[in-house]
């Protein structure tokens, strides 16, 4: 039950891909001169933080330390069965921040997003319907019942506070649906053509282009002798995080698209040059009805997320943000 309620709280629509700089700005802090905001951020508290201390402000909206602690607890509870608590103080090699510090910044970003979206909803007159509010409050009650008593007393967590958080997340989800519901998601038959491929990618610029081309040609020769495990070979040699994906007509890499859509199943391409570098493609599944449907769904989702990212970027211009230095100093 506990895991399920945590996921309900944190599984929001906020995979925005919007960069939010989290920097400390106390009561006397100044916003960058180049940033234009309509609603100035309220003061936040530094020094010793109590439950009611203001630690984040989005415009005139202030987030208390106890509200932050709810988010922090729900986030970390997802990992308590698989990670040792010491992991939050660990600093990975070649990194300047500990995992705990990164977690603080992630939680702060999420809170900022929630507050900005809530303000946008208010300005547009969008509210939760009675049944939506009832659902959010019911989930908050279930979550509250599952929290350890010691944790509630220590951090000042109340059912009313949880209800507020769940309602704000529900409203953010509603705003996402409002924005994405206005997106044109129609694709022509030609736009829907795609194939499932595995890719080896190496980035190249003008200075190292020929060197990278030769490297890829050597990899292509090696790949010819593979016996049915292109994925492993690609994983070991690509510079991309993703090996297998759908490539289709909406992709801007025209050389890659034209090559991939002309390939047969289990066929490997030669070296394909694109503006960002070079590719070698292996066709896992050529165009068919199921691939076309999957590609359509993927394209629709990408268009919707992009629309929401653009909307959020505009909303966020209306508010300056402050974050407590003391909060960011914690781990």
Name the band, by pLDDT with cuts 50, 70 and 90, for residue 156. Answer: confident
**Structure-token pair, residue 55:** 């630690």
With a cut of 50, say whether residue 30 has pLDDT above it.
Answer: no
Q: What was the pLDDT predicted at 147?
A: 81
Report the Cα 229 to chain-centroid distance in Å: 31
Q: Is the pLDDT of residue 327 over 80?
A: yes
Over the stretch 248-260, which tens digit does the pLDDT of each residue have? 999 999 999 999 9
> What is the average per-residue pLDDT within 38-57?
91
Outline where the chain has alpha helix (H).
2-10, 65-77, 99-123, 130-146, 149-155, 159-180, 209-224, 230-237, 254-260, 289-316, 325-329
Q: pLDDT, tens digit, for every residue of 206-226?
A: 788 999 999 999 999 999 888
Taking only the tens place, the pLDDT of each residue in 65-112 is 999 998 888 887 776 655 666 666 667 776 777 777 888 888 899 999
Complete DSSP assignment for 211-266: HHHHHHHHHHHHHHT--S-HHHHHHHH-SSS--EEEEETT-S-HHHHHHHTTPPTT
Tokens of 239: 């510079």
Q: What pLDDT is attached to residue 145?
A: 86
Q: Distance between CA atoms of 83 and 76, rounded to whole angstroms?
A: 9
Tell me: pLDDT of 12 over 50.
Answer: no
20 backbone dihedrals φ, ψ, rounded to 5°: -120, 115
Q: What is the pLDDT of residue 99?
A: 74
- Entry pTM: 0.77
């Amino acid at each position: 039950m506990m895991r399920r309620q945590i996921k309900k709280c944190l599984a929001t629509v906020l995979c925005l891909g919007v960069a939010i700089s989290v920097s400390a700005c106390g009561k006397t802090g100044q916003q960058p001169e180049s940033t234009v905001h309509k609603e100035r951020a309220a003061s936040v508290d530094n020094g010793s933080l109590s439950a009611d201390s203001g630690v984040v402000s989005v415009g005139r909206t202030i987030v208390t330390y106890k509200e932050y602690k709810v988010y922090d607890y729900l986030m970390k509870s997802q990992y308590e069965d698989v990670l040792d608590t010491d992991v939050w103080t660990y600093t990975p090699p070649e990194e300047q921040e500990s995992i705990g510090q990164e977690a603080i910044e992630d939680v702060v970003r999420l809170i900022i997003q929630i507050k900005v979206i809530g303000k946008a909803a208010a300005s547009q007159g969008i509210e939760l319907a009675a049944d939506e509010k009832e659902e959010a409050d019911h989930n908050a009650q279930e979550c509250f019942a599952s929290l350890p008593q010691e944790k509630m007393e220590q951090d000042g967590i109340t059912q009313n506070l949880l209800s507020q958080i769940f309602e704000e997340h529900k409203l953010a989800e509603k705003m996402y649906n409002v924005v994405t519901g206005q997106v044109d998601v129609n694709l022509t038959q030609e736009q829907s053509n795609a194939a499932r491929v595995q890719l080896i990618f190496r980035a190249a610029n003008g200075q190292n282009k020929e060197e990278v081309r030769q490297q890829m040609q050597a990899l292509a020769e090696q790949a010819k002798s593979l016996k049915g495990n292109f994925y492993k070979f690609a994983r070991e040699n690509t510079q991309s995080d993703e090996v297998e994906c759908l490539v289709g007509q909406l992709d801007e890499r025209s050389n890659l698209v034209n090559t991939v859509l002309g390939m047969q199943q289990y066929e490997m391409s030669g070296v394909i040059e694109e503006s960002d570098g070079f590719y070698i493609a292996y066709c896992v599944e050529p165009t068919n009805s199921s691939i076309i449907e999957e590609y359509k769904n993927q394209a629709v989702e990408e268009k919707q997320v992009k629309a929401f990212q653009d909307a959020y970027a505009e909303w966020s211009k209306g508010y300056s943000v402050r974050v407590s230095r003391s909060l960011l100093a914690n781990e």
